[in-house]
């Protein structure tokens, strides 16, 4: 069996840059993404750089998808030493106006697939006595967010699940880490429904980190003893503020800002 890092959301944005950072370390990667064309581009990049890459295009929101990922790895003789759960969907807007199916899909990916992958792979890692899990949440986990209420709720879950699991697995040889990036300059902003050209979109772009910087923070999370990394100084200040102020104060401030910039 060959050790591999399994990265979900590997085709674009933060996930893609995490894959590239792992390539630079000489790590073999199993990249999982929804789009085959994105993975084909990544495979060409891997061949040109001499990196080792396996890919699987799959919709992780579908029933049985996680089992298909694990079966694919086993059939290829791959043993997942590192899991990076980076795939995620965001939805922006008044919650009652959002499409029900889109919300269900977001919950299935952000919570369901992440939990199932973490759980099943953690069991095999504990049995071996080593392994790493990195779950990517968001600064949206720090407080409830109007117009992002379902999305922020999924990230609250990711944070609570990851930190709780990290404590349970302390001393097993398996590390479980949480990464919270803020707004990042990726297709995620527009795909969440924050339309290009709006003031909210422009504000998000001005506050954005680069995916390369977030990937560097992800490597620090995998390397370091801390189980919780907030990417970026501004986001760390946001986290500190969220510990000091009542959630309602931050929630109302966010609501006023988004209402003014829509």
Other Cβ atoms closer than 10 A to 220 = 14
151: annotated active-site residue: yes
Cβ contact 177:229 at 8 Å: yes
Angstrom distance (rounded) from CA 102 to CA 204: 22
Tell me the sheet residues that pair with 6. Answer: 30, 83
Cβ contact 69:32 at 8 Å: yes
Report the candidate in 130, 110, 111 with the shortest Cα–Cα distance to residue 121.
130
Helices (H) and strands (E) in the chain, counts: 11, 7
Report the candidate in 78, 85, 87 with the shortest Cα–Cα distance to residue 12.
87
Cβ contact 15:86 at 8 Å: yes
Beta strands in 51-138, from DSSP E residues, in sequence order: 53-57, 78-85, 131-136
Angstrom distance (rounded) from CA 143 to CA 140: 6
| Residue 154, token pair as written in the block | 């999924």
Q: Please tell me which residue in 92, 151, 157, 239 is annotated as part of the active site.
A: 151
3-state secondary structure of 154: helix
| CA distances (Å), origin 118, targets 85, 95, 170, 219 | 8, 28, 15, 18
Q: Catalytic amino acids?
A: 151
């Amino acid at each position: 069996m060959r050790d591999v890092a399994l990265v979900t959301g590997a085709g674009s944005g933060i996930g893609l840059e995490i894959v590239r950072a792992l390539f630079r370390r000489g790590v073999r990667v199993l990249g999982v993404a929804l789009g085959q064309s994105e993975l084909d581009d990544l495979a060409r990049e891997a061949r040109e750089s001499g990196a080792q890459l396996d890919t699987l295009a799959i919709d992780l929101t579908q029933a049985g998808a996680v089992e298909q990922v694990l079966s694919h790895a086993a059939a290829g003789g791959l043993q997942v030493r590192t899991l990076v759960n980076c795939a995620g969907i965001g939805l922006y807007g008044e919650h009652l106006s959002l499409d029900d199916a889109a919300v269900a899909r977001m919950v299935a990916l952000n919570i369901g697939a992440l939990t199932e992958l973490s759980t099943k792979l953690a069991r095999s890692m504990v049995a071996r006595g080593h392994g790493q899990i990195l779950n990517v949440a968001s600064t949206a986990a720090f407080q409830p967010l109007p117009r992002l209420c379902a999305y922020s709720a999924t990230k609250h879950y990711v944070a609570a699940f990851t930190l709780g699991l990290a404590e349970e697995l302390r001393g097993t040889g398996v590390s479980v880490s949480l990464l919270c990036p803020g707004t990042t300059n990726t297709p995620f902003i527009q795909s969440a429904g924050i339309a290009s050209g709006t003031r909210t979109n422009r504000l998000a772009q001005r506050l954005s980190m680069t995916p390369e910087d977030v990937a560097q923070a992800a490597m620090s999370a995998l390397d370091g003893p801390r189980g919780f990394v907030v990417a970026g100084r501004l986001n760390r200040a946001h986290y500190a503020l969220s510990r000091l102020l009542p959630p309602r104060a931050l929630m109302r401030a966010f609501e006023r800002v988004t209402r003014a910039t829509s």
